[in-house]
Amino acid sequence: MVIQTDIAILGGGPGGYVAALRAAQLGARVTLIEQDRIGGVCLNVGCIPTKALLRSAEVYRILQRAESFGLRLEGGIVPDWSAIQARKEVIIRQLVGGVEKLLHRAGVRVINGRGQFITPRTLAIEKAEGTLSVEAARGIVVATGSRPIQLPLPGIDLPGVIDSTGALGLEDLPKRLLIVGGGVVGVELAEIFGAFGVQVTVVEMLDRLLPQMDADLGAGLAWAFEQRGVRVHLDSRLERVDAGPSGLLATIAAPSGQVTVEADLILVAVGRRPNVENLGLDVAGVRVERTGIPVNLQMETNVPGVYAVGDVTGVAPLAHVAMQGGEVAVENALGHPAKLDLKTVPWSVYTDPEVAGVGLTEAQAREAGYDVVAGRFPLNANGKALTYGETAGFVKVVSEARYGEVLGLHLIAPHASDLIHEGGLALALEATLDELITTLHGHPTLGEAIREAALECRGAALHLPH
């Protein structure tokens, strides 16, 4: 059987399903091939389940200190891990079901199976009942995502060594958890399990947590973790895992020497690898590098009419980047010129407090040759943060000296993932400090701290002593 379509999409995660919806919106016949579950990693075993568990952790933390708000909880509050997991599953089903309905109503043909290129415009689809082919007149989008990296270390295959997918599906909480990797995934999972009483240790090879973000953010999060009893080993790496008498023994090379950490589970969260194998990319002539499939700003590969979006490209492995990349890819394939602008990509980490950044870090701005001026404003001087009882954080604006152009915004604060978009808009409009300062910010709000940080770039923050 041969299916004729305008756009064929390999992968139904955020990049793939959004590409399908946008292409259908533009009037194209669309075929989406997904070998597992619609929604991909993000909806099923990534962003959404993690945030559901993080919300339960956040509510639990707040209730634990209810007395500081003048409230008494008679009898205390007890976390029910099985109920927390059940709530997570309800949210996943609702979102996945919603996406499936959107695809159906948009007229997208969804095929459950595994696809491979047999020509640059034709895919062979392996299904249980046989093989069919899909011929795409206008283009093919590769959106096959990524998978966790496994470390080639002795003992890494022992029972009890898990990845992020395994961690999100645990039926019972461990007493001791070692997390290898202090990036976004590692710190969010440290937040979840630490909140529910698990003794958590984080090992990060580089000199700070969240190494891809501004250095001050990683330092601020490490401080917050340590206040809550999460142990953090920086400049350290896992060397081996052994079975111990009452758990796993992790041998860690630390600055002070070799350290042994005993844990019930070891979670490896050191990054993800693009899914490029067994797709027939070589048959189609698509270039593949170690980091993924290289694309241009139009999301097109070296082969005209073949596009790649999301984690499989190795660029900014974030669901929102995949989504917009999917839109850009099909718009170009269907004759609507578009580009993906990575300048305004926000990075958000849903710890307590949240961490977010957009644009250049202070170090990146200096490396780029700017005469950098940075302003910080602490949340303990912000009225809304005080009423929240959440003052362990700050806002940092990075600008350049000559014109005051805003180069980056970085926050460690409640709702940082929502506040960060003001920085993205400033970057998109090439705004200066003057625009941030003259824009009225409501009072009392957390957003006021952004204006104060912009003022502090000029040594003029009104709510700081000088």
Digit-coded pLDDT (tens) for 85-118: 999 999 999 999 999 999 999 999 999 999 999 9
pLDDT digits (tens, 9 = 90+) for 372-425: 999 999 999 999 999 999 999 999 999 999 999 999 999 999 999 999 999 999
Q: Confirm if 287 and 301 have CB atoms less than 8 A apart.
A: yes
Element (H, E) at 238: strand 237-244
Reduce the DSSP state of residue 262 to 3 states and report it: strand
How confident is the prediction for the chain on average, in pLDDT?
A: 97
In the chain, the amino acid numbered 188 is: E
pLDDT at 169 (0 to 100): 97
User: 446 pLDDT band (50/70/90 cuts)?
Assistant: very high
Q: Which residues are catalytic?
A: 443
CATH class of 161-270: alpha beta
Average pLDDT over residues 435-457: 98
CATH 3.30.390.30 fits 353-456, yes or no: yes
Q: Which residue has the tokens 């929102």?
A: 320
Sign of CA dihedral 181, 183, 189, 191: positive
Residue 128 has pLDDT above 80, yes or no: no
* Nearby residues of 77 by Cβ (< 8 Å), 6 or more positions away: 60, 63, 64
Structure tokens at 68: 């500081």
E-strand spans in 246-313? 247-254, 257-263, 265-268, 272-274, 306-308
**C-beta neighbour count of 411 within 10 angstroms:** 33
Structure tokens at 320: 């929102």
User: 11 pLDDT band (50/70/90 cuts)?
Assistant: very high
Q: Where are the domains of the chain?
A: 2-147+273-343, 161-270, 353-456
Task: State which CATH number among 1.10.150.240, 2.60.130.10, 3.40.50.12780, 3.50.50.60 fits the domain covering 2-147+273-343.
Answer: 3.50.50.60
Q: Confirm if 179 and 200 have CB atoms less than 8 A apart.
A: yes
Q: Confirm if 257 and 170 have CB atoms less than 8 A apart.
A: no
Average pLDDT over residues 41-68: 97
pLDDT at 291 (0 to 100): 96
Residue 251 C-alpha from the chain's centroid? 29
State percent of the chain over pLDDT 70. Answer: 100
Average pLDDT over residues 6-24: 98
**Size of the chain, expressed as the number of residues it contains:** 466
Same fold, 2-147+273-343 and 161-270: yes
Angle CA 187–276–332, to nearest 5:
95
Q: Confirm if 153 and 238 have CB atoms less than 8 A apart.
A: yes
Structure tokens at 389: 């009882």
pLDDT at 76 (0 to 100): 87
Residue 127 has pLDDT above 90, yes or no: no
* Nearby residues of 221 by Cβ (< 8 Å), 6 or more positions away: 187, 209, 210, 349, 351, 355, 412
Q: What is the distance between the alpha carbons of residues 344 and 330, in angstroms, rounded to a whole number?
A: 21
Reduce the DSSP state of residue 92 to 3 states and report it: helix
Residue 298 has pLDDT above 80, yes or no: yes
Q: Residue 424 — φ and ψ, nearest 5°?
A: -60, -40
E-strand spans in 265-419? 265-268, 272-274, 306-308, 346-349, 354-359, 372-378, 394-400, 406-413
DSSP classification of residue 311: G
